[in-house]
Amino acid sequence: MRRGFVILIVGGIFLVVSALIAIPSIYALVGLADSMPSNITAKDVMHFTLNMNQTAIKESLRSIGIDAGLAFFGILVSITLMVNGIIALIGGTIIIFLDRRRSKHNSIPK
């Protein structure tokens, strides 16, 4: 009878951990989006690239790419944990009801 409650607890833990991973990842993406200029065109990027040091631009783009990649990976992991948590909550609830039905049927005096 305990297995259903354990699955419910694990599902709840998955949901909490997924929220703890998703919130910082979303804030990181929002911060990254705020740091980007909003009115930039391809012509501006080309002009800026031709007038700046190529190494600095490569390092800046690499840093932005790593930050965005880690944030999206965090969101992906959080979504996976959230789905698993929901499945565990549903499965734990079903197991609790099945165990209760079996215990009621087994306790009938003969």
Q: SS3 sequence, 49-76?
A: HHHCCHHHHHHHHHHHHHHHHHHHHHHH
Is the pLDDT confidence value at 65 over 70?
A: yes
Q: What is the pLDDT of residue 107?
A: 61
Q: Is residue 79 helix, strand or coil?
A: helix
Grade residue 105 by pLDDT with cuts at 50, 70 and 90: low
Structure tokens belonging to residue 67: 């930050």
Is the pLDDT confidence value at 39 over 60?
A: yes
| Tens digit of each residue's pLDDT (9 = 90 or more) over 80-90 | 999 999 999 99
Is the pLDDT confidence value at 45 over 80?
A: no
DSSP class of residue 25 equals H
